[in-house]
Structure 1
Amino acid sequence: MIKRSILLLIIILAAVVMIRYMADRSVNIIAVYQNPYTAAVIVESLPWRDRDKIAWWRNNEKRLIQRYSLKTDNPRGALDYFVYAFGEGYQPEGKTDRLCFDEIQSPARCIDKNLRMVVTQNRAGEQMFLIDKYRYQVMRDGELQKQPLIEPGDIR
């Protein structure tokens, strides 16, 4: 009984350490590509939990815009940011549906479309995050409101 308790404690501690590691690891931005309305942010890793992804973005958005000279020269006055996982790295276009970048002058200029997060604004200018099957809206008081995305065919 004591051996099982010790083993269970070790497993729980290992899980807690792993979760903290996944939440705290730093985000490595590989590249950023922009067109007039969107920016593709290619990252090596993002925090594990949705709230940590959002916190990372909110803490680094201004720095990212400045470092990569992102401009909102469009009638909307805002960019939509699409955050993709770098995954297997740059690959040739091939037969797979990949996101390719004309700025890269190499056959390996595409990445797999592994979308991790979208950062956008609604008509009122409030920031929204689309992560997996949820939409997180930043309310005027700064609080996050979580809502499920409506799947095609859902009637609400």
Structure 2
Amino acid sequence: MKSKNKKILLASLLISCALLGYFLLFSFRPVEVVAVHEDGEFSSILVRNFPLTDRGKIDWWIKNNAILKEKYNIPKPASDGFFSIVFWDFGDGYKEEGKYDRRCFTDMKPPINCIDKNSLLMVNNSKNTGTYFSLDSGTYRLNDSGKMVKNKSD
């Protein structure tokens, strides 16, 4: 019986190590900005290898928003300070409109000007609300001390 328990323990340990290795490898891949599409104060940024966690996504924005401003001139706020940026998973690349659940970009010629809708992060800013982050799991804001706080209504 002891030999069987040792084999189960060893197998569990090997599986755990493999999963941890995969997670670490996936976590440390650099984010790739594939394309940027703009429509006034609304921007869509197509990315690959975006962080997996809410915290990782927001931290990536905080660390890289100056680079995005410098390289792509994003965000481009309206006169009242409003802007909205959606980070989309580029996935399998551009596709034809075909499916109903695709995001198509008017700044490209059809038919291959759409992506599957898989938003990863939305960054919004307005005079009344300040900057906030919308993710599948809820909405977050940075408080005055720089700490990320999830909205209680989510």
The Cα shift of 1:8 comes to: 1.1
Change (3 A) 1:137 1:64: same
Structure 1 unaligned residues grouped into runs of 5+ = 151-156
Change (3 A) 1:26 1:148: farther
**Distance in 1 of aligned mates of 2:21 and 2:28:** 10
The Cα shift of 1:122 comes to: 4.9
Is the contact made by 1:134 and 1:148 (CA closer than 8 Å) also made in structure 2?
no
Structure 2 counterpart of 1:153 = none
- 1:94 counterpart = 2:80: no
The Cα shift of 1:106 comes to: 4.3
Change (3 A) 1:101 1:42: same
- 1:44 counterpart = 2:45: no
Structure 2 counterpart of 1:64 = 68
Structure 1 counterpart of 2:29 = 25
Is the contact made by 1:133 and 1:149 (CA closer than 8 Å) also made in structure 2?
no
TM-score, reference length from structure 2:
0.86
1:84 to 81, 84, 88: 88
Is the contact made by 1:117 and 1:129 (CA closer than 8 Å) also made in structure 2?
yes
Structure 2 counterpart of 1:116 = 120
Cα RMSD for the two superposed structures: 1.9
The Cα shift of 1:52 comes to: 0.9
Structure 2 unaligned residues grouped into runs of 5+ = none
**Distance in 1 of aligned mates of 2:126 and 2:19:** 38
Change (3 A) 1:15 1:97: closer
**Distance in 2 of aligned mates of 1:46 and 1:149:** 26
Indicate the SS of the match to 2:79.
coil
**Distance in 1 of aligned mates of 2:29 and 2:130:** 28
Change (3 A) 1:100 1:77: same
Is the contact made by 2:42 and 2:84 (CA closer than 8 Å) also made in structure 1?
yes
* Number of corresponding residues: 150
Percent of matched pairs sharing the same residue: 29
The Cα shift of 1:126 comes to: 3.1
